Amino acid sequence: MARILIVDDSPSQLMSIRRIVEKLGHDALTAEDGAAGVEAAKRELPDLILMDVVMPNLNGFQATRSITREATTKHIPVILVTTKDQDTDRVWGMRQGARAYITKPFSESELADVVNQYLGSGPSAA
């Protein structure tokens, strides 16, 4: 069982993603904006982070950059989960240190596949 940090400013999205994460058998931690996400990542050291992009205080690109460049958290895979679906957004997100990029709306199986892949338990981890 892994500990997954979900960072999203939408309560409905947080609940939806949390439900999927828990259905996969993992513990879900949550943060409601990028700044809180960075602090939670440093404090909790989760196994994986699912990060929204469009958020107040610190957007997901900035938060991802902070997490992936911080010595204590740079090993944690960050997956961006966002409505921003332009190729330039995807490229920019990956340049900030994200390992994967999922656009909303996503299917439960799509999110599960990426989570499993980065936790080393999915079909592509073999």
Is the pLDDT assigned to residue 126 strictly greater than 70?
A: no
* 86 and 98 Cβ atoms separated by less than 8 Å: no
Domain boundaries, the chain: 3-120
Domain 3-120 has CATH 3.90.245.10: no
Beta bridge partners of 49: 5, 78
The predicted-structure confidence for 13-68, as pLDDT tens digits, reads as follows: 999 999 999 999 999 999 999 999 999 999 999 999 999 999 998 999 999 999 99
CB atoms within 10 A of CB 87: 7
